[in-house]
């Protein structure tokens, strides 16, 4: 463990004893009052700054009313900037000022205040330093061993605008004595900010840790945005929260690059994304796309887990080849012959000639991007069959125009090579014969049977993807990239002309359309450019949380979003639910394309009490998980409880008693973690326990749902996989052995479950 604040505040060996010589309550009250005066001043300034931003927004809006184009552009820019500033200022109200540094007088005799955003006073003097600014770095990096000119570091605890208390750390006792000799008082007050922060009750959202970021975490947060930054560490070491602070830091430091290019944050589940979504706005950042693995593809939201055996097949790299073959199949039901009499000639397209045209078109690029080339390619074959003089004399241009106005030909071309949406093609997989053909040599009969079973529950909604599982989404994405996006069909040629800007009075269409728009230009059918394009997928920064769980197919999907991006990758291999690590590692390496990697490791567990983590770590060792074991710094004196040998008919009663006991002793959230097969059963118990009605108002609604619960319920039922990345004050694990037996990686899942509680853990076996 590094010698950071955590160790200092945990009273670790060698850390200064900061309780010695602490001043009395009067001094503390005086210090708090002093900070309150400063916070009041900052709050007043915040009101002034907000009004200024609002004025700017109104001014910008009025400028747009001038009507000329320059005015509009200027208005958009001003309104945008002002709106952003207003949003930032709004978000900043909570704990706006949280830190203060007192440096030695030769460095800076004035206190330096650190806040969620930077703020200047009316004279443009710095009032508050943004926590991400270089001047704030020392707040996180100074330690007693290397104080870097800091005598005292102070954390302000507040709610809204009221300062409740201050927590000081003395970093340089000698310097303090020297300062006091020259008349500058720097008393040390409070018991330590970190412990106060770690002991707070948990709710359903993750909170910002700006006030107590530790030195080793700060290094990872401020690492330059080049190549790939990996952040590893055992459970509860702050990997997620650090990565989110890093996203906010990157946006602060290179706003232009990351705001225009976008930052994509990927996490394991919708519940997890809701858990973390409030952290970034509280850090002043809204320009970030938060997506769970089921939502990476635009417009698709999947949250259903497949059975582990099915998810393992769908995630395997072999599926990339299955999908590649699928994308080359002829659309089921499409015609494969055509004939027509034209000027004494019988013209035909048979399976052989059509096969050749198909291969030729496929070799020229993505399938949907060939739509405009299809008629011409078919006409080439047909024109070669025109032998009669009467026909040849009319010439090729005449022939083309004539057939393109013949509905039999146009209809055939459209039916033979229809635009194909990825989800529509994905649905072809439900046909056992087709699956058998394209999976030949890749998936065995049992694997095919499992896949067919998983897809047997009815059609997928082609617009929203409803019906897809999380593991289906990378397959759909792979298909999108193999097919190309579907151009939007337009209702009439006039409308199409509008979209493509076709000459309707001297305007040149080529001036108005991009090269890729022109690929969709029509020949006999009306297509407009697609609304979602694969070209729009890439981001400037990609942040992957719980990266140990990404399957090879998910790495391919995420990799496509980060070809030119810098990356932050967060994970802990011991918590992995993917059974073939070597395959996932290879897919991850391919996704990162040899970018340079900088690694950071976190070594202190801030979540679990030392007692709970000792129990979880002993489990990891017993079952042979090669776990990275961090130090847990907070003791509660309460060991986890095991209730064993409970018969099925007493299970509900026992679980209920454990939930009652835990809910009565912790102030925050309680998770009941169950094997997947028992989820709806336990949910229905929770829904009928009248003493829990206030804690779990949505339990009844989620009994029959396959979705994990959302909302803000204090008590929730979750499967082991649902708990990834989350934390609760209390956890009751129902039938841990069944969770372990549920999948090949059940031991890692159970280890994750055992590391979710901050205060109390009970296992009912």
Ligand X SMILES: Nc1ncnc2c1ncn2[C@@H]1O[C@H](COP(=O)(O)OP(=O)(O)OP(=O)(O)O)[C@@H](O)[C@H]1O
Is 474 annotated to bind ligand? no
Q: How far is the CB of 671 from ligand X (least distance, A)?
A: 13
Residue among 602 and 763 whose Cβ is closer to ligand X: 602
Tokens 């983590």, residue located: 613
Dihedral sign for Cα atoms in the order 558, 562, 568, 573: positive
Is 505 annotated to bind ligand? no
Positions of E strands within 565-695: 566-571, 597-602, 604-609, 631-634, 641-643, 670-674
Chain CA centroid to CA 660, Å: 34
Tokens 């407009």, residue located: 528
Residue among 273 and 322 whose Cβ is closer to ligand X: 273
Is the distance from CB of 161 to CB of 36 less than 8 angstroms?
no
| Of the residues 99, 190, 725, 730, which one makes contact with ligand X according to CB under 6 A | 725
Q: How far is the CB of 116 from ligand X (least distance, A)?
A: 15
Paired sense of beta strands 119-120 and 126-130, if any: antiparallel
The tally of CA atoms less than 13 A away on the side-chain side of residue 237 is 26
Candidates 70-78, 86-94, 239-247, 703-711: pick the segment binding ligand X (CB under 6 A).
239-247
Q: How far is the CB of 156 from ligand X (least distance, A)?
A: 15
Q: How far is the CB of 230 from ligand X (least distance, A)?
A: 13
Helices vs strands, H then E, count in the chain: 32, 23
Is 335 annotated to bind ligand? no
DSSP conformation letters of 682-711: HHHHHHH-GGGTTT-TTTGGGSS-SSPP-T
Candidates 33-41, 128-136, 238-246, 502-510: pick the segment binding ligand X (CB under 6 A).
238-246
Nearest Cα to 636, choosing from 612, 664, 672, 670? 612
- Alpha helix locations (H) across 66-209? 69-92, 137-141, 173-181, 193-198
Residue among 143 and 683 whose Cβ is closer to ligand X: 143
**572 lies in the site for ligand X, by CB under 6 A:** yes
Residue among 244 and 479 whose Cβ is closer to ligand X: 244
Residue among 248 and 496 whose Cβ is closer to ligand X: 248
Nearest Cα to 242, choosing from 601, 555, 589, 577? 601
Q: How far is the CB of 616 from ligand X (least distance, A)?
A: 10
Dihedral sign for Cα atoms in the order 49, 53, 59, 63: positive
Is the distance from CB of 753 to CB of 731 less than 8 angstroms?
yes
**628 lies in the site for ligand X, by CB under 6 A:** no
Question: Closest residue to ligand X, Cβ-based?
Answer: 238
Positions in 375-404 near ligand X (CB under 6 A): none
- The Cα–Cα gap between 245 and 13 comes to 30
**169 lies in the site for ligand X, by CB under 6 A:** no
The structure tokens listed for 198 are 């770690």
Positions in 176-235 near ligand X (CB under 6 A): 194, 197-198, 207, 209, 212-214, 217, 233, 235
Is 14 annotated to bind ligand? no
Is 238 annotated to bind ligand? yes
- The Cα–Cα gap between 422 and 486 comes to 8
Residue among 422 and 716 whose Cβ is closer to ligand X: 716
Chain CA centroid to CA 219, Å: 22
Q: How far is the CB of 501 from ligand X (least distance, A)?
A: 50
Nearest Cα to 525, choosing from 382, 365, 410, 370? 410
**236 lies in the site for ligand X, by CB under 6 A:** yes
Residue among 275 and 527 whose Cβ is closer to ligand X: 275
Site string for ligand X, 682-721 (x = CB under 6 A): ----------------------------------------
- The Cα–Cα gap between 698 and 695 comes to 9
How many C-beta neighbours within 10 Å does residue 297 have? 22
Cβ-proximal residues to 693 (8 Å cutoff; 6+ apart), any chain: none
Q: How far is the CB of 724 from ligand X (least distance, A)?
A: 7
Return the C-alpha torsion angle 482, 536, 558, 420, nearest 10: -30
How many C-beta neighbours within 10 Å does residue 465 have? 21
DSSP letter at 591 equals: H
Size of the site for ligand X (CB under 6 A): 23
Is 192 annotated to bind ligand? no
Is 237 annotated to bind ligand? yes
| Of the residues 9, 232, 240, 719, which one makes contact with ligand X according to CB under 6 A | 240
Q: How far is the CB of 483 from ligand X (least distance, A)?
A: 36
**Angle of helix 407-416 relative to helix 396-404, nearest 10 degrees?**
80
Q: How far is the CB of 140 from ligand X (least distance, A)?
A: 9
Q: How far is the CB of 212 from ligand X (least distance, A)?
A: 4
Buried b (16+ CB within 10 A) or exposed e, 299-321: ebebbbbbebebbbbbbbbbbbe
Q: How far is the CB of 112 from ligand X (least distance, A)?
A: 20
Residue among 175 and 752 whose Cβ is closer to ligand X: 752
Dihedral sign for Cα atoms in the order 204, 677, 756, 722: negative
Cβ-proximal residues to 324 (8 Å cutoff; 6+ apart), any chain: 478, 482
Q: How far is the CB of 249 from ligand X (least distance, A)?
A: 14
| Of the residues 88, 176, 230, 237, which one makes contact with ligand X according to CB under 6 A | 237
Residue among 288 and 349 whose Cβ is closer to ligand X: 288
**4 lies in the site for ligand X, by CB under 6 A:** no
Is 234 annotated to bind ligand? yes
Q: How far is the CB of 190 from ligand X (least distance, A)?
A: 15
Residue among 214 and 669 whose Cβ is closer to ligand X: 214
Residue among 305 and 607 whose Cβ is closer to ligand X: 607
Positions in 733-762 near ligand X (CB under 6 A): 755
Tokens 């020949």, residue located: 523
Residue among 374 and 550 whose Cβ is closer to ligand X: 550
Is the distance from CB of 237 to CB of 606 less than 8 angstroms?
yes
The tally of CA atoms less than 13 A away on the side-chain side of residue 621 is 7
Residue among 247 and 422 whose Cβ is closer to ligand X: 247
Site string for ligand X, 579-618 (x = CB under 6 A): ---------------------------xx-----------
Annotated binding site: 233-240
Annotated binding site for ATP: 233-240
Binding residues (CB under 6 A) for ligand X: these are: 194, 197-198, 207, 209, 212-214, 217, 233, 235-241, 572, 606-607, 725, 727, 755
């Amino acid at each position: 463990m590094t010698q950071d604040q955590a160790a200092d505040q945990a009273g670790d060996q060698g850390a200064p004893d900061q309780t010695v010589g602490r001043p009395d309550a009067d001094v503390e009250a005086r210090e708090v009052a002093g900070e309150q005066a400063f916070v009041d001043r900052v709050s007043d300034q915040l009101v002034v700054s907000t009004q200024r931003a609002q004025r700017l927004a109104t001014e910008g809006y009025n400028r747009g009313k001038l009507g000329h184009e320059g005015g509009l552009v200027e208005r958009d820019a001003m309104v945008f900037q002002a709106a952003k500033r207003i949003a930032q200022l709004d978000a900043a109200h909570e704990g706006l000022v949280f830190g203060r540094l007192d440096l030695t007088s030769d460095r800076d005799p004035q206190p330096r205040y650190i806040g969620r955003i930077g703020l200047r006073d009316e004279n443009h003097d710095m009032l508050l330093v943004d926590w991400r600014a270089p001047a704030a770095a020392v707040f996180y990096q100074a330690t007693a061993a290397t104080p870097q000119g800091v005598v005292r570091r102070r954390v302000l605890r507040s709610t809204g605008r009221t300062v409740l208390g201050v927590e000081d750390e003395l970093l340089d006792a000698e310097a303090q004595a020297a300062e006091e000799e020259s008349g500058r008082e720097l008393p040390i007050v409070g018991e330590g900010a970190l412990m106060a922060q770690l002991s707070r009750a948990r709710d359903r959202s993750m909170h910002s840790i700006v006030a107590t970021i530790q030195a080793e975490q700060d290094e990872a947060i401020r690492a330059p945005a080049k190549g790939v930054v990996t952040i590893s560490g055992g459970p509860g070491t702050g990997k997620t929260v650090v990565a989110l602070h890093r996203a906010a830091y990157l946006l602060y430091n290179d706003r232009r690059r990351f705001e225009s290019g976008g930052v994509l944050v990927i996490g394991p589940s919708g519940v997890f994304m809701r858990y973390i979504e409030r952290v970034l706005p509280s850090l002043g950042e809204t320009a970030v796309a938060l997506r769970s693995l089921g939502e990476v593809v635009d417009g698709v939201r999947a949250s259903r887990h497949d059975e582990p055996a099915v998810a393992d097949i769908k995630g395997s790299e072999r599926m990339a080849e299955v999908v590649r073959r699928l994308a080359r199949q002829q659309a089921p039901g499409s015609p494969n012959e055509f004939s027509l009499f034209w000027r004494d000639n019988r013209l035909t397209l048979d399976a052989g000639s059509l096969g050749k045209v198909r291969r030729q078109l496929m070799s020229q690029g993505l399938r949907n991007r060939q739509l405009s080339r299809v008629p011409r390619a078919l006409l080439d074959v047909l024109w070669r069959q025109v032998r009669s003089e009467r026909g040849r004399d009319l010439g090729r241009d005449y022939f083309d125009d004539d057939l393109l106005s013949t509905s039999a030909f146009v209809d055939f071309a459209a039916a033979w090579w229809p635009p194909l949406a990825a989800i529509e093609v994905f649905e072809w997989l439900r046909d056992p014969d087709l699956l058998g053909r394209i999976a030949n040599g890749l998936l065995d009969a049992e694997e095919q049977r499992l896949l067919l079973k998983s897809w047997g529950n009815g059609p997928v909604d082609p617009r929203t993807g409803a019906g897809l599982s999380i593991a289906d989404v990378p397959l759909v994405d792979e298909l999108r990239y193999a097919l190309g996006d579907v151009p939007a069909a337009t209702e009439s040629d006039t409308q199409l002309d509008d979209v493509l800007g076709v000459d309707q009075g001297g305007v040149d269409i080529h001036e108005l359309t991009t090269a890729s728009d022109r690929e969709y230009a029509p020949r006999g059918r009306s297509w407009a450019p697609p609304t979602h394009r694969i070209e729009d997928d890439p981001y400037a920064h990609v942040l992957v949380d719980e990266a140990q769980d990404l399957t090879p197919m998910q790495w391919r999907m995420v990799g496509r979003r980060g070809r030119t991006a810098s990356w932050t990758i967060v994970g802990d291999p011991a918590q992995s639910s993917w059974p073939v690590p070597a395959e996932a590692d290879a897919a991850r390496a391919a996704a990162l394309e040899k970018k340079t990697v900088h690694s950071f490791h976190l070594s202190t567990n801030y979540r679990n009490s030392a007692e709970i983590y000792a129990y979880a770590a002993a489990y990891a060792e017993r079952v042979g998980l090669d776990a990275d074991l961090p130090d847990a710094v907070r003791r509660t004196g309460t060991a986890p409880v095991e209730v064993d040998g409970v018969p099925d008919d007493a299970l509900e009663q026992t679980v209920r008693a454990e939930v009652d006991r835990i809910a009565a002793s912790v102030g925050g959230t309680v998770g009941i973690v169950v094997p997947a097969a028992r989820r709806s059963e336990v949910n229905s118990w929770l829904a009928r326990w009248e003493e829990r009605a206030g804690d779990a108002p949505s339990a009844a609604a989620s009994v029959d749902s396959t979705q994990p619960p959302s909302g803000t319920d204090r008590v929730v039922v979750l499967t082991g996989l649902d708990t990834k990345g989350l934390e609760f004050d209390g956890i009751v694990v129902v039938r841990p052995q069944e969770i372990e037996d549920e999948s090949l990686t059940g031991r890692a899942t159970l280890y994750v479950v055992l590391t979710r509680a901050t205060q109390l853990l009970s296992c009912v076996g």
